[in-house]
Amino acid sequence: MASRGRPKSGREVKGVSLKVNPEAWELFDQLAKSMGLTRSELVEKIAENQILLAPGNSQVKQSLGKSLVS
């Protein structure tokens, strides 16, 4: 029988829950997709300071456009 669900990453992960408004979640989803990441990967990279969410961050500006981060 084929396995179901997400593929195993080989590392320990913890399921968490966030409560955000729908507009913020959509922006977060767009940012992750534009960077070629899953939402989980984006959260990890932000937490590990691999991606900085600052107004001057050119990576975020390129992904979402200047109007969304200014």
- pLDDT average, residue stretch 61-68: 54
Please give the average per-residue pLDDT across 2-18, as a whole number: 73
- Give the structural domain span for 52: 22-69
pLDDT at 41 (0 to 100): 92
CB 70 within 8 A of CB 56: no
Q: What is each CA distance from 62 to 10, 26, 57, 59, 68, in whole angstroms?
A: 31, 17, 9, 5, 10
Query: In which band, very low, low, confident or very high, does the pLDDT at 67 lie, cut at 50, 70 and 90?
Result: very low
pLDDT of residue 39: 92
Report if residue 64 sits inside a domain: yes
* Structural domain count, the chain: 1
In this prediction, residues 44-60 reach a mean pLDDT of: 78
pTM for the model stands at 0.64
Residue 38 lies in a domain: yes
User: Is 14 inside any structural domain?
Assistant: no
Residue 2 lies in a domain: no
How would residue 22 be classed by pLDDT, with cut points 50, 70 and 90?
A: very high
Look at residue 12 and tell me if it is in a domain. Answer: no
Residue 39 domain-assigned?
yes
